[in-house]
Amino acid sequence: MSAPQSRSARGLLERYVDSVAGRLGAGSGLRSALRKVFPNHFSFLWGEVALYSFVVLIATGIYLTLFFEGTQSEVTYSGSYEPLRGEEMSAAFASVMRISFDVKGGLLIRQMHHWAALIFVGAIAVHMARVFFTGAFRKPREMNWVVGVLLLVLALAAGLTGYSLPDDLLSGTGLRIIHAVILALPFVGERLTYLLFGGEWPGTDIIGRLYPVHILLIPALIVALLGVHLGLVWRQKHTQFRGAGRTETNVVGESVWPSFAMKSVGLQFMVAAVITAMGALFDVNAVWLYGPYDTGAATSFSQPDWYIGFLEGSLRLFPPWETRIGGFVIGQVVYSGVVIPSLIFGILFAAPWIDRRLTGDHDEHHLLDRPRDAAGRSATGVAALTVVTVLFLGGSQDVIAGTLGMSLGLVTRLLQILLLVAPPIAWYVTARMCRVLAERPGPERTERSEPIYRDSGGGYHSGPLVEKEPPQDHEQVPAEATGRST
């Protein structure tokens, strides 16, 4: 037996790690994993925020499944919300009412789930914008860009199915629109709606079918792709901004253990804290005000969740076009609900290859561009964001008209014009701004020969970076690392 002394010299943490790593032969691998370096920049946090709101979604979602009933069987409401008592509704809606009013703490969890979903998609969008505008999607990370866009699509699908499950008036309306878009698909449309809805609209199957999709299929796919996404980041190492000592062949930052891990776990708790506070303080999706889905009922100012807004806007702003080809019809919803979304996501998927084609840049990149370094790409990104923003505004054109006291037709027409005019203007202005910024005597101002450190008290000061090689000046950075304007 080994001497008891050496045993007691090991702390709890060491003993635990020994017992696991010692059985997996993972000692040296674990050591190098703990020493892995992650570069530091505030804009790198958004992906983490998305990840951590997903964790909250899973946790709150599991709680909700313990109460939610995914069926459309008719029940008469007898819960404690007075205005709806005695009304006929689906078991799904009744169970959401129960969670909201009769399960102690249920409303908090439900609202946290909804807020977390809104933040999840938002964080993904901001993260994607960061990746795009800094050129982080370039070789060798094209694959991870595609995985990321897939994750965005899955997040939207999760949101859409989740929005539909309570079977309230608005969710039924949303499903109705999806039904119409599928119905209009050439050749397979009507058959496909019958397969999805188990027959004619609305049927009694759709909620029961969306339920496993929402709580099993989509989350499982998200978890799998998240594994790939993070695995690729781990394997290929994170990108970094230019700066003293930072080259295409190194990573400068903090190591996983303990700095990165401790701060990142801290961020998980902070994200959860914000979502919990929002769930406690701000109402979201107050389905009891909309009431159960009811044939023939409709509400004004009906709006989807924010991330579906651009699709809603496309349906609203696209002109009333119908194309007839030999007795067959391509209707307005095919253009606005299929063609335009396909274009948007198709371009998103293809972004790395489009960028490569336009710039002729086939090199590997680990140093990020600042947006100004790639005027063409930044301008294109802002133009694309402008398109999505105008579509988003179009999704609530009735609210805009009501607020501004303008006629609905005028607002619609203005937004249609804006959709055509604003993106080129945004492109030109952004390109111009990038060039002006890039021409300024930048390197001394923005890329310092000495790094700035933030110390533990929050103060900033500069000093020499302690490493073997002397800090490199901007001019000495290898050619492929310098900025290039398109």
Partner 1 sequence: MSERSEGAATGDDPQENQRAYRAAVVAFAAAIVGGVVAAIAYSTDDTDVWLGVGLAVALGGIGFGLVSWAKYLDFDEHVVQQREPLTMTETERDALHEELTTLPANSTTTFRRRRLLTRLLGGSLFSLVVGFVGPLGSLGPKPRGERNRTGWSNGVRLVTSEGQPIERATGGFDQLVTVFPEGQIGRDDSQVVLLRVSPELLTERTVEAGSIDGWVAYSKICTHAGCSVGLFGIDTRPPDVLRQLVCPCHQSVFDPVDGARPVTGPATRSLPQLPLRVDADGYLAAADDFDRPVGPPTWDEG
Which residues, listed in sequence order, are joined to residue 178 by a DSSP beta bridge? none
Report the distance separating Cα 130 and Cα 137, nearest Å: 10
Q: Does 475 bind partner 1 (CB under 8 A)?
A: no
Report the distance separating Cα 185 and Cα 457, nearest Å: 60
For the chain, state the CA radius of gyration.
Answer: 26
Q: Does 254 bind partner 1 (CB under 8 A)?
A: yes
Instruction: To the nearest 10°, report the CA torsion of 354, 358, 360, 365.
Output: -60
x/- site string to partner 1, residues 182 to 201, per CB under 8 A?
-xxxxx-xxx--xxxxxxxx
> Token pair of 435, please?
């060039």
By beta-carbon proximity to partner 1, the closer residue of 252 and 390 is 252
Cβ–Cβ contacts within 10 Å for residue 175, how many? 23
Q: Does 430 bind partner 1 (CB under 8 A)?
A: no
Between the alpha carbon of residue 392 and those of residues 190, 377, 398, the distances in Å are 29, 22, 12
Between the alpha carbon of residue 384 and those of residues 269, 299, 380, 427, 436, the distances in Å are 34, 32, 6, 9, 21
By beta-carbon proximity to partner 1, the closer residue of 369 and 381 is 369
x/- site string to partner 1, residues 375 to 414, per CB under 8 A?
----------------------xx---------xx--x--
Minimum distance of partner 1 from residue 113's CB (angstroms) = 13
The window from 118-126, 424-432, 453-461, 477-485 that contacts partner 1 (CB under 8 A) reads: 453-461
The window from 90-98, 212-220, 221-229, 459-467 that contacts partner 1 (CB under 8 A) reads: 459-467
Q: Nearest-CA neighbor of 176 among 10, 45, 297?
A: 297
By beta-carbon proximity to partner 1, the closer residue of 350 and 465 is 465
Question: What is the footprint of partner 1 within residues 43-102 (CB under 8 A)?
Answer: none
Instruction: Give the count of residues interacting with partner 1 (CB under 8 A).
Output: 114
Crossing angle, helix 408-439 and helix 375-394, to 10 degrees? 160
> Token pair of 311, please?
């699709």
Minimum distance of partner 1 from residue 60's CB (angstroms) = 11
Question: What is the footprint of partner 1 within residues 116-155 (CB under 8 A)?
Answer: 140
Q: Does 105 bind partner 1 (CB under 8 A)?
A: yes
Q: Does 230 bind partner 1 (CB under 8 A)?
A: no
By beta-carbon proximity to partner 1, the closer residue of 280 and 425 is 280
x/- site string to partner 1, residues 326 to 365, per CB under 8 A?
-xxxxxxxx-xx--------------------------x-
Q: Does 448 bind partner 1 (CB under 8 A)?
A: no
Among 34, 180, 233, 344, binds partner 1 (CB under 8 A): 180
Minimum distance of partner 1 from residue 155's CB (angstroms) = 23
Which run of H or E residues covers position 376? helix 375-394
Q: Nearest-CA neighbor of 471 among 197, 294, 246?
A: 246
The window from 43-51, 219-227, 296-304, 478-486 that contacts partner 1 (CB under 8 A) reads: 296-304
Report the distance separating Cα 471 and Cα 468, nearest Å: 9
Q: Nearest-CA neighbor of 241 among 157, 365, 420?
A: 365
Q: Nearest-CA neighbor of 171 among 159, 180, 163?
A: 163
The window from 63-71, 117-125, 298-306, 346-354 that contacts partner 1 (CB under 8 A) reads: 298-306
By beta-carbon proximity to partner 1, the closer residue of 353 and 453 is 453
Q: Does 35 bind partner 1 (CB under 8 A)?
A: yes
* b/e sequence 339-366, b meaning 16+ C-beta within 10 Å: ebbeebeeebbebbeebbeebebeeebb
3-state secondary structure of 202: coil
Question: What is the footprint of partner 1 within residues 256-285 (CB under 8 A)?
Answer: 258-259, 262-263, 265-274, 276-277, 279-281
Q: Nearest-CA neighbor of 176 among 395, 345, 342, 333?
A: 333
Q: Does 42 bind partner 1 (CB under 8 A)?
A: no
Q: Does 286 bind partner 1 (CB under 8 A)?
A: no
Minimum distance of partner 1 from residue 149's CB (angstroms) = 21
By beta-carbon proximity to partner 1, the closer residue of 125 and 136 is 136
Among 98, 316, 372, 474, binds partner 1 (CB under 8 A): 316
